[in-house]
Amino acid sequence: MAYRHSILHDLLDRLARIISSDAWSDDLNPTQRAALSYLARANRFSRSPSHVADYLCATRGTVSQTLKALARKELVNEVRSETDRRSIAYEVTRRGEVLVNSASAIDDVLNALPDEVADSLTEELSSLVRATLARRGGKSFGICKTCQHHRPHEAGGWCALLDVDLDPAETSQLCHEHVEAA
C-alpha cells in the first residue's frame, strides 16, 4: 500500500511540475498563469484578491503582487466596487483571455483522451481535491450549477445564498461560496 501511495504521489508531483514548467511562457510565471486562469473561470462574486489567494492556496501578499503584475501586463483590469470603494475585483482583458485559451501540452493530451477515460479521471481527481481540501479546511470553489444553493431557471439560474439572478454563463463558472450539492 505504501509503495502504491508513493508512486501515485510521485506521479501527481511530476504532473504538477510538468504543468508548471509549461506555464512559463508568454512572459508569465506559473503563479501569474494560474491566477489569470482562475479569474477567467470565476464568477463575478469570486474575483477579489482574497478569493484568488484562497483558490491558489497562496498568501495574500503573493497574490497581490501577482495581480499587480497581471494588471501591468494589461491582462486584467482592477475594478472597484460601486457600493464599497475599498473592495476590489479583477476582470480578465481580451488579451488575457487569448492567453488563457492558448493550449498547452497537457491540454493537447487531455483533449485526446477517450471520453470515458476523461470522465473517470475527472471524477477521481475531483474526489482527491475535495478530500484534500476538506482535511485542510479549504473551500471547494466548484461550478455554480453543482452547488446546493443553485436554483435553475430558464434565464440562467438563481443563487439562493446570495439571493441574486445568474446569467447562463455564470452557472458554469467557479464560485467561492460553492457548497457541493447533496
pLDDT the model gives residue 1 = 55
pLDDT tens string 81-90:
787 778 899 9
Confidence band, pLDDT 50/70/90 cuts, at residue 61 = very high
Torsion region of 65: left, alpha or beta (phi above 0 gives left; psi -120 to 50 gives alpha): alpha
Instruction: Check: CB of residue 77 under 8 Å from CB of residue 93.
Output: yes
Given 78, 105, 132, the domain boundary residue is: 105
Q: How far is CA 52 from CA 27, 35, 134, in A?
A: 20, 6, 18
Write the pLDDT tens digit of every residue in 157-171.
999 999 999 999 989
Could you list the residue range(s) of the whole structural domain that residue 100 is in? 1-105
**Which three cell numbers, joined as nine digits, stand for 128?**
482527491
Looking at the fold, whether 120 and 176 belong to one and the same domain comes out as: yes
Tell me: do 101 and 117 sit in the same domain: no
* Whether the Cβ atoms of residue 54 and residue 35 lie closer than 8 Å to each other: no
Average pLDDT across the chain, whole number: 90
- What is the DSSP code string of 53-114? HHHHT--HHHHHHHHHHHHHTTSEEEEE-SS-TT-EEEEE-HHHHHHHTS--HHHHHHHHS-
* Domain boundary residue, one of 105, 130, 153: 105
C-beta separation of 148 from 180 below 8 A: yes
Last residue in a domain, options 105, 127, 155? 105
Residue with cell 503584475: 69
pLDDT band at 38 (very low <50, low <70, confident <90, very high): very high
Query: Residue range 50-56: average pLDDT?
Result: 94
Coil, strand, or helix at residue 182?
coil
Number of domains forming the structure of the chain: 2
Q: What is the arithmetic mean of pLDDT over 102-116?
A: 91
Asked if residue 14 has pLDDT above 90, the reply is yes
**Residue 104: per-residue pLDDT:** 84
Cα separation, 172 vs 182, in Å, equals 18
Q: Are residues 87 and 13 in the same domain?
A: yes
pLDDT score of 69 more than 80: yes
CATH number at residue 30: 1.10.10.10
- For residues 4-28, give the mean pLDDT: 86
Residue where the block lists cell 484562497: 54
Residue 42 shares a structural domain with residue 73: yes
The pLDDT value given to residue 34: 94
Size of the chain in residues: 182
pLDDT tens per residue across span 111-150: 999 999 999 999 999 899 989 988 988 888 889 998 999 9
pLDDT of residue 174: 92
Given this model, what pLDDT does residue 142 score?
A: 87
